[in-house]
Structure 1
Amino acid sequence: MVDVALAAVDAAATGLAMNGGGLFHRRDLLAEACRHVALVVRGRRREPGLDERIVDAAITTYCLDISEPKTLRGLMPAHRF
């Protein structure tokens, strides 16, 4: 059983610590959520979309979008935050 709230804290804290100034993208949080889930479930079956739920919880609770997109690619949701 994976605690989504705890995983969101872990993903946000790791993203903040890894990137200078606390700036990171959604894909960075997704990578940390995948790592967290992999450590918790340790080879057992996990429910589909769990990583995305963790990232959504981390973004809504702990993140603030402060950047303005400068390219068309920057407007895509995967490249925000």
Structure 2
Amino acid sequence: MIKEIKMPDVGTTVESVILIKWLKKEGEQVKRGESICEVQTDKANVEIESIASGVLLKQIVAEDSEISVGTIIAYIGEPGESIPK
């Protein structure tokens, strides 16, 4: 089953962040709790952890993009699963 990975709330005053680096590539195996990307807030850089185990099927957000809390950043699932459009 495909899981949407959304940008979590990383601080009480943070409404948007910049995704500065993907730590996992599409097609790589990911474990729940493993860091998949790094974002920059107004105060610090923070690693974002996966909420599910599986394969990183698709990175939705490009590096150096500004995103809001709650935005879907990636899909994780089993190899060969279809990504929602």
Q: Scaled by the length of structure 1, what TM-score is found?
A: 0.26
Larger Rg: 1
Q: Scaled by the length of structure 2, what TM-score is found?
A: 0.25
